Structure 1
Amino acid sequence: MTLVDGFDPSDVRVGIIGLGGIGHHHAERLESLGADLVGGMDVDAEARERFVGRFDAHAFEDAGELFDLVDAVFITTPNRFHEDYAVSALEWGLDVLLEKPLAHTLESARRIADAARDAEGFCMVGFNNRFAAPVEVLKHYQDQGRFGEVTHVEANYVRRRGVPGRGSWFTSKEVSGGGSLIDIGVHAIDLALHFLDFPEVVEVSGVARSEFGGRDDYTYIDMWGEDSGPEDFDVDDSVSAFVRTAGGKTISLEAAWATNRPANNDFFVRGTEAGARFDRATDELTLFENGVGGGHHLTDTAVDTREVDTHRAEQATFLEAVAAGEPPGRNTIDEALSVQRVIDGIYRSTEAGRAVRLDE
C-alpha cells in the first residue's frame, strides 16, 4: 500500500461510532497510519471506558459531540443502527466510512443511499476484501482484457463451524437483518459483482437455511464471542443462491457459518479467454489460460503477491479521499446498494420458494 505523495493522514480528524471489536480493529489501524483519531462514541459506558483505556482519544455518549470535532467518521455499530448514524453524519456534512453491510434491510439501505446523494460529504462502504493484493492483480488483468469477457463467478465463503456468538446481535434478525448471508455472504456477493463490474441484477434464486444454530447439540471447537445457546437464534446459518444479471452474466453463491463440509473461501472467475481462482483464506491466486502456439496447451500460473492489511489499505483510500475533498470512486454507495438488493432478493426467494425478479 502506497500513500499519495504529499498526503499526511494526520491532517484528517477521525471519529469512530461503535466501540466494539470492529471499532477497535479500525482504531488500531488508524493509529498505525498516523491518522488523527480524535475519539469514539458508544451508548455503552463500559465500551467507552475500554476505548479510552486503550487509545489516546476521547469517548462520547452522544454522536453530535463527536461530529463537532471531526472531518470524517467510521461507523462500526450493529447493522440496525447504521442508518441513524450514517444519515446523521452525512447531514452534518461529514464523510463516512460505513462498515458492511450497508444496512439491516433494503429499505434502510435505500434511505442511507438517498442521504448520501444529497450530502456534501460522501459515503464509502467497508468491503475491505476488494483491497486484497490478489484481487487488485486479478482486476488489473481483467481490465487489460486478459480474461476476455467474464461471464460467471463462483463465490464461496463457507465455514465448517463458525457461528459468531449465539445470543449476540449477530444472531438476532431484529438487529442484524439476517445471519450468515448478511454477515459473510455479503463479502462473497460484493466480490462476485466486483469481478463482473457490477452489472444490473435481474433475477435471484436462493435458499437461506437455519440447520445448526438453533440446536442444543450444536457442535463446535471454538466460537467468536460467547455461546448463550440456541434460544435467541433466529437467523440463517447457510445459504445457496444463483444470481442472473443483464447480459446473461451469472453468480453461484455458497455461504455458511456452519455446514458439514470443509471450509471454503474460493472464488472462480470464468472468462471467454481465461479464468482465475482466488482463495481469500490464503490469498493464493492462480490463472487458467490456454493457447495453440506450438500445439494446443493449457497453462496454470501461480501469482504471488505481497501481504496487505486490507482494512488499513481501505482506510488509506478513504482518508486520502477525505483530504482531497473527492469521493474515492470505489466501494461506492450505489455498489453497496446493489449488494443489498441481492441479499434482499435471496431472502425473498427463500420465503417465496421460487426465483424473484429484481428489475421489476
Structure 2
Amino acid sequence: MTDGQQTVRLGVVGLGFMGQTHANNAVEFGHEVVAGTDVVADSRDEFARSFGATTYEDADEMYEREDLDAVVVSTPNAFHEESVVGALERGYDVLCEKPLADTLDAAERIAAAAREAEGFCMVNFHNRVSTAAEVLTGYRADGRFGDVTHVQADYVRSRGIPGVGSWFTNEELSGGGAVVDIGVHAIDFALYLLDFPPVEEVFAVTRTEFGNREDYADPGDWYDETEEAVFDVEDSATAMIRCADDRTVSLEVAWAANQTESQEFLVRGTDAGARLDLGGEELHLIESGRQGTDHVMEAELADGSLDHTGWEGNDKRFLEAVAEGEPPADSTVEEALTVQRVMDAIYRSAEAGTCVSVDDE
C-alpha cells in the first residue's frame, strides 16, 4: 500500500482455500479483513482465528451489519450470483472468483446488476498478471505482431481430476467440468491475447473418458472418491472459436488425457508470433526478416519481472482500484460475461453436434 492510500475494509464470502488466499493477500498489502461468511462452521472458526474477523453464516447478514469497502466472493459457482448481486446492490466493490457464474443466465444477471451498481465487479482472471503476458500485450499495442489472428490454447493435465465428491465434479454446484474449472482460464487468456474481439461462433466436442472409470490411474492423488461421489461433468473438451475479422482460437482443455501436460499458448500475428505458458514468466518471440538474407529470428525474454503476479498480483490490482475509487480496466465483468458466453456455446455445440452462434445481445 502506498503512502496516503486508503485502507480497504474487506469482507470475504466463501472461506475455503481461495477465500483465505485472498484474505492473506489483502493483509499482506496493508488492508483489513474485517468479516467473512461461510455455511461451514469449522471454516468460520478457522477464519476468525486467522484474521481476527467477525464471521457469519449468511452473506446478507454480513452485508447489513459490517462497514465494508469491498467484498471477495469465492464460493462454489452456483452461489456466485446471490453473493455478488447482494454486494453490488449495497454499493460494494466486488472481486468474484472465476467463472462469473454457473450458468449464462446467472452471469447475465450479475452483469446487469454491475451496470447499475455504484461499485464495480472484477473477476479473478489472475493468469493475465504475468511478466510474459505484460510484455506480449505491450508489444501487441506497439504493433510488433501486426494483426494477431490466431491463438492456440492448451490447458491439459495428464491426470488431474479434482476430488470426486467435491463441488468441482457436481454440475449442480459447478455448472460444468474441465471447461468451467480450467477451460475458463484458457478461454479468457486466449481472448485477452487477441484483445477481446467479438466472438461469433463456436464448434466444440466435450468428452467424459476418465472420470467414471474404475481403473482410473491417479498418481497425483487428486481423485479421492467418496461414497457420495458425483461425477456428471466432462473431463475434456476440444473447441474452435471464431471471432470477428476471422480471428480464431483453437482450444484443448483436459483434466485427464493420455498426453504430456501443457499450458502452452501460441500467438500468431502477421508480423511476428510468440510462445508462452498460461500465467508463466518466459516469453519466446518469433519474427522473420530479409535484412542481409531471408531469415527467421527467435528471441527469449531474458530479464525483467513484475513484483506481484498471479493471485497476489490480481488482488493487488483489485484493492488498489477500490482504494482509488476507480473501476479497473482489466478483468472486467463484461469480459467475464464474454467468456461465459463462449463456455455456454461450447456446451451447446457439443450437445447439438454442430457449430453454434454466440449470442452477445
**TM-score normalized with structure 1 length:** 0.95
- Residue 33, structure 1, aligned to residue 29, structure 2: yes
Question: 1:125 touches 1:332 (CA, 8 Å); kept in 2?
Answer: yes
Distance 2:205 2:71 in 1: 36
Matched position secondary structure for 1:242:
strand
Q: Residue in 2 aligned with 1:355?
A: 355
Distance 1:146 1:6 in 2: 37
- Residue 306, structure 1, aligned to residue 302, structure 2: no
Q: Residue in 1 aligned with 2:332?
A: 332
Question: 1:213 touches 1:230 (CA, 8 Å); kept in 2?
Answer: no
1:296 is aligned, of 294, 297, 302, to: 294
Matches within 5 A, 1:177-188: 177-188=175-186
Q: Could you tell me how far 1:101 is from its partner in structure 2?
A: 0.2
The C-alpha deviation readout for 1:98-155, integer Å capped at 9, x for no partner, is: 0100000101000000000011000001100011111111100110101000000001
Matches within 5 A, 1:1-360: 6=3, 8=5, 11-67=7-63, 68-224=66-222, 226-228=224-226, 231-280=229-278, 282-304=280-302, 305-306=304-305, 308-359=308-359
One-letter amino acid of the counterpart of residue 221, structure 1: P
One-letter amino acid of the counterpart of residue 84, structure 1: E
Matched position secondary structure for 2:346:
helix
Alignment length (residue pairs): 356
Q: Could you tell me how far 1:70 is from its partner in structure 2?
A: 0.9
Distance 1:113 1:138 in 2: 29
One-letter amino acid of the counterpart of residue 177, structure 2: G
One-letter amino acid of the counterpart of residue 57, structure 1: A
The C-alpha deviation readout for 1:63-88, integer Å capped at 9, x for no partner, is: 23432321100000000000000000
Question: 1:160 touches 1:259 (CA, 8 Å); kept in 2?
Answer: yes
Identical residues among aligned pairs (%): 51
Q: Could you tell me how far 1:311 is from its partner in structure 2?
A: 1.2
Q: Could you tell me how far 1:225 is from its partner in structure 2?
A: 7.0
Distance 2:228 2:142 in 1: 50
One-letter amino acid of the counterpart of residue 161, structure 2: V
Question: 2:273 touches 2:287 (CA, 8 Å); kept in 1?
Answer: yes
Matched position secondary structure for 2:110:
helix
Moved over 3 A (4+): 5-9, 223-226
The C-alpha deviation readout for 1:222-264, integer Å capped at 9, x for no partner, is: 2347432795100010010000011100000001100011100
Structure 2 residues not aligned, in runs of 5+ = none
Distance 2:288 2:27 in 1: 46
Q: Could you tell me how far 1:313 is from its partner in structure 2?
A: 1.2
Structure 1 residues not aligned, in runs of 5+ = none
- The more displaced of 298-307 and 130-139 is 298-307
Distance 2:191 2:316 in 1: 23
Distance 1:225 1:50 in 2: 25
Matched position secondary structure for 2:71:
strand
Q: Could you tell me how far 1:55 is from its partner in structure 2?
A: 2.3
Distance 2:292 2:267 in 1: 27
The C-alpha deviation readout for 1:201-242, integer Å capped at 9, x for no partner, is: 110000111110111111111234743279510001001000
